[in-house]
Amino acid sequence: MRLLVIRTTAMGDVALTVPVISGMRKQHPDVEIVMMTRKTFLPFFSAISGFRSFSPDFNGRHKGFFGLIRLFFDLRTEVKPDKIIDLHDVLRSKIIRFLFSLSGIPVYVIDKGRSEKKSLITGKKKVVLKHSVERYADVFLKAGFPVTPERNKTIISSEADLGSVNSLTEPGFTNIGVAPFAKHKLKMWPEEYMIKLLELISSATPCRFFIFRGKEDTEAMKTYIEKVPGIYDVHGKMTLSGELALMSRLDLMISMDSSNMHLAAVCGTKVISIWGGTDPMAGFGAWMQPDNYSIRIPVEELDCRPCTIYGKGRSRHGMECMRRLTPDIVFTRMKTLKVI
């Protein structure tokens, strides 16, 4: 039995497939899994025995509508799947799975819970929704393969990658990763708040900060370099495999609701996450982290939140959810949790 599993973006969402794919390989070793995802994300799966991948070329051979037709034929010829598991449910994956269904191949699709999420942000129903990892597992169950997602560290770095970052973390210091940026404004804590928090932590314990970011954050990064002594900017200094290895060596990650939050969690690192317009109750919290590690203004105190599921849109009250969440509140929580 060979399954074609589809999830090509985004980085954090692809990382959240790892606990399920890893669980599948261990609990159903006779089932072959071929993951269709971007080549960039393959380091997430490097420790999974028997893992196979197919990386589409959306900028070349598989670009546009006719490229998707070619992609279907390439998958049918090279992968020869017995079943399709669509963990993405976007236009591209819909076209691919439709073509496979015409060929008589069974297709199973994720239920993203769109109506439940809409009720959450409109305030009709403030309930904790199923986690994305559990939604992924549900699709395999529909296909006839019950799977328990892995709950421990699932992105495991090679000895070579670990060796390449060993000199960066220092014994006797608390090595802390910081991911202060996010794709959408509704997920962003004010810059001055994060800098103040790092100052409070520095005053409490000997520590070293490692900033994880994207290319688009280069200008904003200058302020952190100027105001936080001894900060280490990870961007551009190592491969994704190296970044994952460094994350696994950290004592703690402090992150917005972003891909780095998910990466650190599946690397087995403690994650303190800071939430504004979004909320972990929508099913996107850091995997297997205690709920009190997700710091936010409770919905009972600010019932306009969450006002968004993915971070898009406008704040209903001018980012009150982030302004109220002061550095002192976050620092006090971290001391209470004894993570610093």
Predicted confidence at residue 106, as pLDDT, reads 98
**Two tokens at 52?**
């196979």
Task: Give kind and range of the element (H or E) at residue 142.
Answer: helix 132-142
Q: Helix, strand, or coil here: 21?
A: helix
Task: Give kind and range of the element (H or E) at residue 176.
Answer: strand 174-179
Q: Indicate if the pLDDT at residue 157 is higher than 90.
A: yes
Q: Helix, strand, or coil here: 4?
A: strand
DSSP string, 204-258: HS-EEEEE---GGGHHHHHHHHHHSTT-EE-TTSS-HHHHHHHHHH-SEEEEESS
Read off the pLDDT band of 39 (50, 70, 90): very high
Read off the pLDDT band of 314 (50, 70, 90): confident
Predicted confidence at residue 179, as pLDDT, reads 98
Predicted confidence at residue 224, as pLDDT, reads 95
Summarize pLDDT for 247-297 with one digit per residue, the tens: 999 999 999 999 999 999 999 999 999 999 999 999 999 999 999 999 999
Predicted confidence at residue 186, as pLDDT, reads 95
Summarize pLDDT for 3-27 with one digit per residue, the tens: 999 999 999 999 999 999 999 999 9
What does the angle CA 331 – CA 337 – CA 340 come to, to the nearest 5 degrees? Answer: 60
Q: DSSP class of residue 34?
A: E
Predicted confidence at residue 316, as pLDDT, reads 82
Predicted confidence at residue 123, as pLDDT, reads 87
Q: Helix, strand, or coil here: 324?
A: coil
Average pLDDT over residues 154-174: 94
Phi, psi of 294 (to 5 degrees): -95, 105
Predicted confidence at residue 124, as pLDDT, reads 84
* Cα dist from 40 to 16, 45, 55, 202, 277, whole Å: 15, 11, 9, 34, 29
Predicted confidence at residue 318, as pLDDT, reads 84
Q: Helix, strand, or coil here: 195?
A: helix
193 CB-near residues (< 8 Å, 6+ apart): 322, 325, 326, 327
Average pLDDT over residues 328-339: 97
